[in-house]
């Protein structure tokens, strides 16, 4: 009879320890193993969340520690939900979120579809395309600020070359109508490769025999694309949308570098607004309530989306 | 006799030195990263030699200065033993216990606030405002002023064209409207083969830029924070017809006369625009004027300076800071030694000569002061009519509200000047209500 690993472990256990754990049930041992993780989770996730909810019901300010803290019920929530500036920042966030996702999905999928075809230099092009997402958002923000500069910026000259308009006649970052699009363009430039990579993984996971069967059945390329490629890549695509959606809902660094929320408050996304309330105005109670509202929004939307994603996977 | 006196003096220095600082400390002084900070490093070497303490410096770029330092203070950090904090921080510094109250120290060391320019004592040192409760020593007097391309203004062809266009002689503007007229004249003009622009002004959104720039115009038109000082009665003061006119003026100046892309510009953008020969005039803090004058390309006889021109009244936006001892420091005694040393008239004179703006009367009232630098006379004039932003403990909230409302109107072109100022009153009212002051 050969020793199993469990037998070996049992023999290696010191006698004193063995005596202690002899009467302990499997369930208890499982709890002992899981306890550190649960403790960490409670300490760094659950406790701060409960503490934030607690703060959101007060008028606490972190820079006024000597001031008496009053419980003001749901007053902070009421203020936020009736504040037109907050709704404007939510609108700016929605605009940014929707357009970046639409563009990144369309361009990312197209690039993946093209890259998936066998051609010379395939690997080199893949590497070049994924370069932007390897850069720091602060760096990207800074150099796009120069690219958008109306007097010396390359972007304006490129637009001028194709459209014939004077390069210094328009300001991407300073114009109320163009600034929201300028941040969408930069985010799309930076993160489309990420969507492309996920789509590429999806495309490469489709077995060739499915296409071969379709060929035998004389299905057109167009029909193969809509009945094989798209449905089989869809779960991957939905995953990419989930990642980008969550990321862009809390987008901060790139936009701060590019526009600082301006001109005026046109590109002041919810996260920028939240940072200003929390760490510049020091309205800790108010900003905690705002953070909870954002958390519930993201959590709610993500939960609905994940359910939909699971349904798609089951099909 | 002489030898005896020398020996006695040396002995007394040794005794005072031994008693005064039994232990050499490593002191850290925190300030913004800009030209005067470099001058202070140079000046502080004398303190190190005299006291035996070592000085370290933590200089933070202006756009992050308030964030970084206020975080440090609010968390009770020990990074800074001495802090040259912005004038608006004095209320929070005093009420939140960040700064050491200096009255007893001043009394014990014969440091009199009467020796400093009254406007700087009021703005940089006192809380509640105007009361003899001191939390800082005036360290760096400053105001927002203007500089221009003197060489362009003196060129015969340009002067002739200006005369033809306006019927006036081209010279330093006497009013805000004159300033705009000159800026419009230069906007888009070709000079030596380059397109130049009228003026670079402050439009920055994130920290304090647009407020510091726009208030320069607003004060001269008659903008006030309150009808009655200390009553927080803002209706009719903040949004008075004169204030509305002043804000409309600033927007027009932004629309007509700034270089393309100046939508988020502050100190460094203004300096860059001027030094690269893009603009005829630019606004900035007097603190930068020594560096501008020394610039090899656009300084010297190519530049001159003027005080923010009046419109209905004189007025300049106050800059500058006082130096405070941070209450969380473990080296408060050594930090106070620095303050005592810094307050000496001889040190203040040296401070001015190195490029710092002393607020000490012995320096400012010196008969040779006016002519000591080309901008010294303008500095004295500007400091007579300076006005500062709210210095309340909640100043940051008040400032951010003004940043938003001004940027929304001036740069983004949303709404009217009256609406922007009305909304500002609503924002400020909410803040003061939260504070229990209304």
Cα A221 to Cα A215, A224, A229, distances in angstroms: 9, 5, 10
Distance CA B193, CA A311 (A): 67
Q: Between chains, do B412 and A265 touch, taking CB under 8 Å as contact?
A: yes
Whether pLDDT at B414 is above 90 = yes
Tokens of B429: 């009212």
The residue with tokens 């071969």 is: A212
The residue with tokens 């800009």 is: B34
Mark whether B91 and B194 lie in a shared domain.
no
The answer to whether A68 faces chain B, any CB pair under 8 Å, is: no
> What are the tens digits of pLDDT across the range A94-108?
999 999 999 999 999
Whether pLDDT at B4 is above 50 = no
Mark whether B154 and B263 lie in a shared domain.
yes
Element (H, E) at A113: helix A84-115
Mark whether B118 and B179 lie in a shared domain.
no
What SS3 class is residue B284?
A: strand
The answer to whether B268 faces chain A, any CB pair under 8 Å, is: no
> What are the tens digits of pLDDT across the range B21-56?
457 899 999 999 998 999 999 999 999 999 999 999
Whether pLDDT at A16 is above 90 = no
Tokens of B332: 């408060």
Interface of A with B in 115-174 (CB under 8 A): 149-151, 168, 171, 173-174
In B, minimum Cα distance to A278 occurs at B397
Q: Across the interface, which of B67, B95, B408 has its CB nearest the CB of A280?
A: B67
Q: Across the interface, which of A63, A173, A276 has its CB nearest the CB of B263?
A: A173
DSSP B134: B
Query: Quick one: pLDDT at residue B16?
Result: 40
Is residue B17 situated within a structural domain?
A: no
Split into its structural domains, chain B has a count of 2
The answer to whether B393 faces chain A, any CB pair under 8 Å, is: yes
* Range B329-355 average pLDDT: 96
* Range B71-98 average pLDDT: 91
Distance CA B112, CA B102 (A): 11
Is residue B12 situated within a structural domain?
A: no
Helical segments of B296-355, H only? 332-342, 345-354
Q: Provide, as residue numbers in chain B, all residues whose Cβ is less than 8 Å from the Cβ of A260.
A: 204-206, 264
pLDDT bucket at B5, cuts 50 / 70 / 90: very low
Taking a C-beta distance cutoff of 8 angstroms, is the pair A251, A184 a contact? Answer: no
Distance CA B281, CA B181 (A): 12
Distance CA B303, CA B271 (A): 12
In A, minimum Cα distance to B263 occurs at A174
Tokens of A277: 């309330």
Query: Quick one: pLDDT at residue B15?
Result: 39
Mark whether B288 and B351 lie in a shared domain.
no
Mark whether B197 and B265 lie in a shared domain.
yes
* Range A150-168 average pLDDT: 89
Query: Quick one: pLDDT at residue B10?
Result: 45
Mark whether B249 and B208 lie in a shared domain.
yes
Mark whether B363 and B260 lie in a shared domain.
no
Distance CA B399, CA B422 (A): 15
Query: Quick one: pLDDT at residue A2?
Result: 62
pLDDT bucket at A1, cuts 50 / 70 / 90: low
What value does the mean pLDDT of chain A take? 91
Query: Quick one: pLDDT at residue A67?
Result: 81
Q: Between chains, do B411 and A266 touch, taking CB under 8 Å as contact?
A: no
Beta bridge partners of B191: B194
What SS3 class is residue B279?
A: strand
Expressed as residue numbers, the domain containing B75 is: 24-142+319-387
Mutation choice for B interface testing from A68, A262, A266, A272 by most B CBs within 10 A: A262
Interface of A with B in 224-263 (CB under 8 A): 256, 259-263
Tokens of B396: 């940051």
Number of other CB atoms surrounding residue A226 within 10 Å: 12
* Total length of chain A: 315
Distance CA B88, CA B402 (A): 14
The answer to whether A82 faces chain B, any CB pair under 8 Å, is: no
Q: Provide, as residue numbers in chain B, all residues whose Cβ is less than 8 Å from the Cβ of A85.
A: 404
Taking a C-beta distance cutoff of 8 angstroms, is the pair B289, B147 a contact? Answer: yes
Q: Across the interface, which of B261, B396, B404 has its CB nearest the CB of A149?
A: B261
* Range B142-151 average pLDDT: 97
Distance CA B149, CA B186 (A): 11
The answer to whether B261 faces chain A, any CB pair under 8 Å, is: yes
Whether pLDDT at A168 is above 90 = no
Mark whether B278 and B411 lie in a shared domain.
yes
Exposure class string for A172-208: b at 16+ Cβ within 10 A, else e: bbbbbebbbebbbbbbbbbbbbbbbbbbbebbeeeee
Is residue B4 situated within a structural domain?
A: no
Q: Between chains, do B404 and A265 touch, taking CB under 8 Å as contact?
A: yes
Is residue B2 situated within a structural domain?
A: no
Taking a C-beta distance cutoff of 8 angstroms, is the pair B324, B174 a contact? Answer: no
Q: Residue B101's domain is classified under what CATH number? A: 3.40.190.10
- Chosen domain end from B354, B372, B387: B387
Mark whether B343 and B239 lie in a shared domain.
no
Taking a C-beta distance cutoff of 8 angstroms, is the pair B199, B280 a contact? Answer: yes
* Range B105-125 average pLDDT: 94
Choose among A196, A201, A205: nearest CA to A129: A196
Mutation choice for A interface testing from B209, B261, B409 by most A CBs within 10 A: B261
Distance CA B189, CA B183 (A): 10
The answer to whether B436 faces chain A, any CB pair under 8 Å, is: no
Burial of B229 (0-12, 13-18, 19+ CB in 10 A): exposed
> What are the tens digits of pLDDT across the range B279-333?
999 999 999 999 999 999 999 999 999 999 999 999 999 999 999 999 999 999 9
Mark whether B330 and B304 lie in a shared domain.
no
Query: Would you say the C-alpha torsion B309, B315, B317, B319 has a positive or negative sign?
Result: positive
Between B406 and B96, name the one with better pLDDT.
B406
Mark whether B326 and B313 lie in a shared domain.
no
Mark whether B301 and B346 lie in a shared domain.
no
> What are the tens digits of pLDDT across the range B365-379?
999 999 999 999 999
A-B C-beta contacts closer than 8 Å:
83
Q: Which CATH number is A78-314 given?
A: 1.10.3720.10
Percent helix, strand, coil in chain B, to 5, is: 50, 15, 35
Choose among B270, B301, B280, B350: nearest CA to B34: B270
Is residue B63 situated within a structural domain?
A: yes
């Amino acid at each position: 009879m050969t020793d199993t690993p469990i037998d070996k472990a049992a023999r290696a256990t010191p006698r004193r320890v063995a005596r202690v754990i002899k009467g302990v049930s499997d369930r208890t041992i499982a709890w002992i193993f899981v306890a550190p993780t649960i403790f960490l989770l409670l300490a760094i996730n659950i406790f701060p969340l409960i503490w934030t909810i607690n703060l959101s019901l007060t008028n606490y300010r972190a820079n006024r520690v000597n001031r008496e803290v009053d419980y003001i019920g749901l007053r902070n929530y009421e203020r936020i939900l009736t504040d037109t500036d907050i709704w404007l920042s939510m609108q700016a966030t929605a605009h940014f979120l929707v357009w970046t996702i639409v563009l990144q999905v369309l361009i990312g999928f197209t690039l993946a579809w093209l890259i998936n075809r066998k051609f010379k230099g395939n690997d080199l092009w893949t590497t070049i395309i994924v370069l932007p997402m390897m850069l720091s958002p602060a760096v990207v923000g800074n150099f796009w600020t120069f690219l958008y500069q109306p007097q010396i910026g390359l972007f304006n000259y490129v637009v001028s070359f194709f459209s014939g308009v004077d390069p210094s006649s328009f300001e991407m970052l300073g114009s109320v109508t163009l600034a929201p699009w300028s941040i969408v363009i930069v985010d799309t430039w930076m993160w489309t490769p990420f969507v492309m990579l996920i789509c590429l993984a999806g495309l490469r996971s489709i077995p060739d025999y499915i296409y071969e069967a379709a060929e035998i059945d004389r299905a057109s390329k167009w029909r193969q694309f809509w009945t094989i490629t798209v449905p089989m890549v869809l779960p991957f695509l939905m995953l990419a949308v989930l990642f980008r959606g969550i990321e862009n809902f809390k987008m901060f660094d790139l936009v701060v570098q590019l526009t600082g929320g301006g001109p005026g408050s046109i590109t002041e996304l919810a996260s920028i607004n939240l940072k200003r309330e929390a760490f510049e105005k020091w309205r800790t109670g108010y900003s905690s309530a705002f953070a909870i509202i954002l958390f519930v929004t993201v959590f709610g939307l993500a939960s609905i989306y994940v359910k939909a994603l699971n349904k798609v996977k089951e099909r | 006799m002489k030898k005896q006196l020398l020996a006695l003096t040396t002995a007394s220095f040794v005794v005072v030195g031994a008693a005064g600082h039994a232990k050499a400390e490593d002191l850290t002084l925190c300030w913004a990263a800009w030209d005067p900070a470099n001058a202070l490093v140079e000046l502080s070497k004398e303190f190190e030699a005299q006291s035996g303490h070592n000085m370290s410096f933590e200089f933070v770029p202006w756009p992050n200065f308030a964030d970084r330092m206020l975080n440090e203070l609010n968390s009770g950090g020990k990074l800074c033993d001495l802090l040259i904090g912005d004038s608006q921080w004095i209320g929070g510094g005093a009420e939140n216990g960040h700064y050491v109250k200096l009255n007893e120290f001043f009394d014990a060391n014969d440091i009199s606030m009467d020796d400093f320019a009254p406007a700087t004592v009021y703005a940089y040192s006192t809380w509640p405002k105007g009361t003899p409760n001191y939390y800082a020593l005036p360290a760096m007097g400053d105001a927002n002023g203007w500089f221009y391309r003197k060489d362009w203004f003196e060129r015969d062809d340009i002067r002739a064209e200006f005369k033809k266009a306006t019927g006036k002689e081209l010279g330093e503007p006497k009013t805000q409207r004159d300033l705009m007229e000159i800026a419009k004249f230069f906007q888009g003009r070709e000079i030596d083969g380059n397109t130049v622009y009228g003026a670079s002004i402050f439009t920055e959104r994130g920290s304090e830029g647009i407020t510091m720039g726009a208030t320069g115009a607003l004060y001269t038109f008659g903008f006030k924070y309150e009808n009655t000082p200390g009553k927080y009665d803002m209706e009719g003061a903040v949004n008075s017809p004169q204030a509305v006119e002043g804000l409309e003026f600033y927007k027009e100046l932004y629309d007509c006369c700034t270089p393309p892309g100046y939508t988020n510009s502050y100190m460094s953008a203004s300096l860059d625009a001027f030094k690269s020969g893009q603009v005829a005039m630019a606004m900035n803090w007097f603190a930068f004027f020594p560096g501008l004058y020394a610039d090899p390309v656009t300084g010297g006889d190519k530049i001159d300076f003027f005080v923010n021109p009046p419109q209905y009244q004189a007025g300049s936006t106050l800059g500058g800071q006082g130096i405070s001892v941070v209450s969380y420091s473990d080296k408060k005694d050594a930090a106070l030694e620095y303050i005592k040393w810094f307050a000496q008239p001889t040190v203040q004179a040296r401070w001015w000569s190195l490029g710092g703006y002393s607020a000490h009367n012995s320096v400012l009232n010196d008969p040779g002061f006016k002519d000591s630098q080309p901008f010294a006379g303008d500095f004295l004039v500007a400091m007579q009519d300076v006005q500062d932003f709210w210095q309340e403990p909640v100043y940051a909230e008040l400032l951010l509200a003004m940043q938003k409302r001004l940027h929304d109107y001036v740069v983004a072109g949303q709404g009217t000047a009256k609406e922007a100022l009305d909304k500002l009153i609503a924002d400020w009212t909410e803040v003061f209500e939260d504070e229990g002051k209304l």
